[in-house]
Structure formats: C-alpha cells, structure tokens
Structure 1
Amino acid sequence: MKKDLLVVAFILFIVGWLVTGTKIQSVEEYYLTHIDEITEDSETVTLEIRSDTVLDAMDKLKPGLEKYVEPDGEILKKTEYVLRSGDTAFDLLDRATRHHRIPVEYQGADYNIYNSIYVQGINYLYEFNCGPLSGWMYKVNGEFPSRGVSQYELQDGDEVEFHYTCDVGRDLVGYIRQSKKVGN
C-alpha cells in the first residue's frame, strides 16, 4: 500500500511539473532559441566564417562541393555574440554554428598531440577538399594565434574569423607577415 501511494505521489509530481509550463527541448531546439541577448552591459565578441580562397581555386575543389561555396565566400557574416565567462574561440564557433545550423566537424583535444580541438570541417568544406594543403584556420583581432582554437580564451571586444585556406594559410591576407610573430 505504501509503495502504491509513493508511485501515485511521484506520478502526480511529474504531471504537476509538466503542467506548470516546463518546456522540454532537444539540444538543437535549445541552441536555436538560447543565444544570449546583447544588453548594454554585455561583454561581446564577433565571429565571421569565410571561404573566399576556394573561389580562386575552384579547379582544386573536389567535384560536387561547389554547392557549398558561397558566391561571395561568406558562410557566416560578421555577427556579434555575448561573451560568456571562459569562452574560447571554439566555444564561440560551436555556439554560433549550432544556432545558425551550420554543420561543423571537429576532432577532440584528446585525439591529437596539440591538446586542442581541431576543426576538420565547416559547412561541408573539410581539410584536403581543396588540395593537400587545405583546411581551416582562425584569426583573433586580425592575427593568427599560435594556440589551438580550444585553448584561446576570448576577451571582450575580440573579433574572431575562421577562414578556409587552400595553401596552408599562404593564400590568406596577412598570414605570411603574421606567422613570423611569436605570441598568443
């Protein structure tokens, strides 16, 4: 009898909890609706994702991938996001691409020697899709950091850019000059 009463009480608790307006969401629904609103007091960062270099190397691109290359190279226009405590460049990329439903594939930090997440593909453009030296690189405030994407902690006002390169960065504006710098 006591067990029956406990079961009934538990069921009533669950029903009451559900009726009070609790909304159960999938992970995808959560990311589509929970991008933080920017307020006057918010610390913010921007993110932009581009694949311009592919436009000049379409002859190297694997057949069938042309449909994933935007005519202007813009996968995600420069967009402002709230900076959350401890956010890395990868956290920002992950949150924004989920929100905008841009596919991303990456290798976890435990699976490579760099101890950082490695971005393998964004918007169906993967490493080696545009030649043996192609893949994704990122900039923060116009410079290519010497740290992995999941190791670079962002600060208020940072401008993050992800660029697809077809020539290990040599085809990206500013890469040669900045790659010689030490830091970040």
Structure 2
Amino acid sequence: MKKDLLGIFALILLISVLVMGTDIKSVEEYYMTNIDNITETSETVTISIRCDTVMDNYEKLSESLKRDEFIPQDGIILEPTEYVLRPGDTVFDILDRTVRYNRIQMEYQGADENNFGSVYIQGINYLYEFSCGPLSGWMYKVNGEFPNRGCSKYELNDGDVIEWVYTCNLGMDVRCDWNK
C-alpha cells in the first residue's frame, strides 16, 4: 500500500512538472510568436503579395470583393517582407508561414488533391481564381521569373525574392510569357 501511494505521488509530481514546464499555445499564438529572428548568419528570402492588376480590371471583379479590405487601393496585400529560410523550404512553405503570421486569408488545394502533384493556391485575401474574370488567378515569381512548376515543388535558396501576383489575363498582364 505504501509503495502504491509513493508511486501515485511520484506520478502526480511528474505530471505537474510537465504541465507547469510546458508552454501550451494555440496555433495562432504559436505563429504569432515563433517567427524566426533574423540574425547576421541567417539565410533569408523576401516575399510580397500583390493584386494591382485588379485595378485595371475592376469591372470584372466580383461585387462582393469591391472593398478596400479585400482589394487595397495600391494593390499591395503584403509589402516585401524578409523571412528566415529553413532547410528544404519551398515557395509554399514561406507563403504559408507568411499568411499565418500576417493573418492573411489563404485557401489552397493539397498536392494529393490535383493532377499537378503540387499545392495549388486557390485564393489569397479572399481573392480567388476567377474572381476577376475567367482568366484570373494567382501566380508566383522567384527572382523575377515565373517557374514552370508548382509552389510546393520549388525549393528556395538564400536571397531569393518571391512575388505572388494576381493575374486577370492568364499571366500576360503580369509579364508572364508562356510561349518562351
């Protein structure tokens, strides 16, 4: 009996040490406080999110989106912002951390849910594919070039610059030439 009580006491002590020593946070709290700090030795990338093409195609925009909270007047959803690059990070990894940290809405289709084998970005800041006409949607550039692969397949390097841009004309309005 004495050994049982001693065992129960030890178990209660262990559980209370674990609970008191564990910082339990919600997902939102985690992303708001655990963005890596940039140091002199950090590898970094820069990311921005823009939808300026919508301004030239405003008449095509869904009525429900014609508000500044969805489409900023200057077309900038996120100014160029620097983030720490972790080993193996892809364009999608950085976008995912960025939108969570900045509380920007994003919806995507997983790589296992489409024929491309890569994550497909359906919408950012409530601006979706086809929200501004039949040829509209999100595209990305790395170092000024539009890669010919999905965002979860493009592994990044130190110093890369990622630009998410919204096209209203299948890329032609954002200087993407698919015929190259």
- State if a TM-score over 0.5 links the two structures: yes
**SS of residue in 2 equivalent to 1:57:** helix
> Do the aligned partners of residues 12 and 129 (structure 1) sit closer, same or farther apart at CA in structure 2, a change above 3 Å counting?
same
List alignment gaps of at least 5 residues for structure 1: none
Moved more, 4-13 or 143-152: 4-13
Identity %, equivalent residues? 60
Residue-pair matches, total: 177
Alignment correspondent of 1:73? 75
Alignment correspondent of 1:84? 86
2:140 counterpart of 1:138: yes
CA–CA distance in structure 2, aligned partners of residues 59 and 7 of structure 1: 70
Moved more, 93-102 or 9-18: 9-18
Amino acid at match of 2:37: E
Alignment correspondent of 1:180? 179
CA–CA distance in structure 2, aligned partners of residues 102 and 69 of structure 1: 12
Alignment correspondent of 1:147? 149
Alignment correspondent of 1:112? 114
Q: CA RMSD in A?
A: 1.4
**SS of residue in 2 equivalent to 1:102:** coil
2:21 counterpart of 1:12: no
- Give TM-score scaled by structure 2 length: 0.93
List alignment gaps of at least 5 residues for structure 2: none
CA–CA distance in structure 1, aligned partners of residues 101 and 5 of structure 2: 45
CA–CA distance in structure 1, aligned partners of residues 54 and 6 of structure 2: 66
Q: Which ranges of 4 or more aligned residues in structure 1 deviate by more than 4 Å?
A: 1-5
